[in-house]
């Protein structure tokens, strides 16, 4: 028996922020270093293009940026296969066969797709590629016979739909080539969805409320100093609220075990009155700087040779392609369309 296979990826639509980091990327590094899994991590640039066809530059640029973020956090091409979706044509081919097993109505009922369609304001003009991206995601997952898919909880409907496709395919073609994956979702929901600096539930580039792994120390400081706290906590002596106060929220997420006692003490003092926002922010800055400085420094090192970064992706993609081609060949055999192998 080989090791269990893990596959996960991100849409490259911008640099990774600390929300991505605490919500998923950090955990991938831990999984990678456990040495218990065969890991595939990829940039879903093809999926990102399903709603960015007319401004591909953003996606193209982000591929290099996110690859840098991956290397900076410690994902290691020697331990995990890091690849680029658009370079694996077998994924598109699998998608075509799976499309015949899924109704349009089923896609329209996918809760994540539904929410995104509303958010993106497509109206009557939903790109076909966008509507079918859950099927292409099923191709991503099944091409590598992934057993485990670590992802945010918004990806639950995608895993569910993938499992349905696997069952339908295996049943229809009386085979067991496809593997039903399990999702691996964040236990700590607070970290699973880190709110923005301004308290908005979502950290995002368009809201301009994020901290990026690439941010320099000055930017980090400015951002933390501008964080949303308790608007009624005006003077240091005033009692303050810790609920909805982003500084305390982030302290809970980024504080290590050894910081917990001090964080609890600060919470008490803040609620009683007598602790100023500047102090709590400086404390948070220290904690975040401690975690982010090594990442930022490694990122700067890797950025000196972008050629090397792309070569890493190219190599990873070649390796990933072999595995996907093997699965596609098994899929075609199961369907009986491997005409020339039968000669
Ligand atoms: N849909 C994921 C996102 O929006 C990206 C993704 C594409 C993915 N294919 C995947 C994640 C396969 C896990 C497995 O971030």
- Note the pLDDT of residue 306: 98
CA of 8 to the centre of ligand 1 (A): 6
CB 9 near ligand 1, within 6 Å:
yes
Distance CA 232, CA 235 (A): 9
CB 88 near ligand 1, within 6 Å:
no
Site to probe by mutation for ligand 1, drawn from 155, 157, 180, 182 as the one with most ligand atoms within 8 Å of Cβ, is 155
Pull the structure tokens for residue 102. Answer: 């899924």
Q: Encode pLDDT of 277-326 as tens digits.
A: 999 999 999 999 999 999 999 999 999 999 999 999 999 999 999 999 99
- Note the pLDDT of residue 31: 96
Q: Encode pLDDT of 101-128 as tens digits.
A: 999 999 999 999 999 999 888 888 999 9
- Note the pLDDT of residue 153: 83
**Cβ–Cβ < 8 Å for 236, 274:** yes
**Cβ–Cβ < 8 Å for 264, 227:** no
Distance CA 283, CA 118 (A): 40
- Note the pLDDT of residue 128: 96
Pull the structure tokens for residue 248. Answer: 């305390």
CB 24 near ligand 1, within 6 Å:
no
CA of 146 to the centre of ligand 1 (A): 13
Residue with tokens 């500047």: 278
Query: Which residues, including other chains, have CB under 8 Å from residue 318's CB and lie 6 or more apart?
Result: none
φ, ψ of residue 34 to 5 degrees: the values are: -75, -20
- Note the pLDDT of residue 204: 87
**Cβ–Cβ < 8 Å for 193, 24:** no
Residue with tokens 């893990």: 6
From residue 331, alpha-carbon distances to 62, 171, 339 in Å are 32, 13, 13
Distance CA 178, CA 68 (A): 32
Site to probe by mutation for ligand 1, drawn from 5, 6, 7, 11 as the one with most ligand atoms within 8 Å of Cβ, is 11
Nearest to 92 by CA among 136, 37, 60, 62: 136
Length of the chain as a residue count: 343
Pull the structure tokens for residue 5. Answer: 């296979």
- Note the pLDDT of residue 190: 60
Q: What is the pTM of this model?
A: 0.94
Q: Which residues, given as ranges, of the chain have pLDDT below 70?
A: 188-192
- Note the pLDDT of residue 205: 84
Distance CA 2, CA 5 (A): 8
**Cβ–Cβ < 8 Å for 41, 70:** yes
- 248 by DSSP, 3-state: which? helix
Nearest to 7 by CA among 187, 184, 192, 188: 184
Q: Please count the CA atoms within 13 angstroms of the CA of 12 that sit on its side-chain side.
A: 26
Whether residue 194 is annotated as binding a ligand: the answer is: yes
- 306 by DSSP, 3-state: which? helix
Distance CA 196, CA 200 (A): 5
- Note the pLDDT of residue 129: 96
Sign of torsion, CA 294 212 233 199? negative
Whether residue 23 is annotated as binding a ligand: the answer is: no
From residue 19, alpha-carbon distances to 62, 75, 196 in Å are 17, 17, 8
Distance CA 11, CA 99 (A): 21
**Cβ–Cβ < 8 Å for 94, 142:** yes
């Amino acid at each position: 028996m080989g090791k269990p296979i893990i596959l996960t990826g991100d849409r490259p639509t911008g640099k990774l922020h600390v929300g991505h980091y605490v919500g998923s990327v950090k955990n991938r590094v831990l999984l990678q270093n456990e040495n218990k899994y065969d890991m595939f991590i990829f940039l879903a640039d093809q999926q990102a293009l399903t709603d960015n066809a007319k401004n591909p530059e953003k996606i193209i640029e982000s591929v290099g940026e996110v690859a840098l973020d991956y290397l900076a956090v410690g994902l290691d091409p020697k331990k995990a296969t890091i690849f680029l979706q658009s370079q694996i044509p077998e994924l598109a081919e699998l998608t075509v066969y799976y499309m015949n097993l899924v109704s349009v109505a089923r896609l329209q009922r996918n809760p994540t797709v539904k929410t995104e369609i509303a958010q993106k304001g497509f109206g009557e003009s939903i790109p076909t590629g966008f509507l079918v991206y859950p099927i292409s995601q099923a191709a991503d997952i099944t091409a590598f016979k992934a057993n485990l898919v670590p992802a945010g909880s918004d990806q639950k409907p995608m895993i569910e739909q993938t499992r349905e496709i696997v069952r339908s395919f295996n049943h229809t073609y009386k085979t067991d080539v496809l593997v039903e994956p399990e999702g691996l979702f964040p236990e700590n929901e607070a970290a699973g969805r880190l709110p923005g600096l301004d308290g908005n539930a979502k950290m995002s580039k368009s809201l301009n409320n994020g901290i990026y792994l690439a941010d320099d120390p000055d930017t980090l400081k400015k951002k933390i100093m501008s964080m949303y706290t308790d608007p009624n906590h005006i003077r240091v002596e005033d009692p303050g609220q810790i609920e909805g106060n982003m500084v305390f929220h982030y302290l809970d997420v980024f504080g290590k075990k050894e910081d917990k006692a001090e964080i609890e003490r600060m919470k008490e003092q803040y609620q009683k009155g007598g602790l100023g926002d500047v102090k709590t922010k400086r404390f948070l800055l220290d904690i975040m700087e401690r975690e982010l400085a090594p990442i930022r420094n490694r990122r700067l090192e890797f950025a000196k040779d972008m050629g090397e970064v792309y070569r890493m992706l190219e190599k990873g993609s070649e390796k990933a392609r072999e595995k996907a081609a093997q699965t596609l060949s098994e899929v075609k055999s199961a369907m009986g369309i491997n005409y020339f192998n039968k000669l």
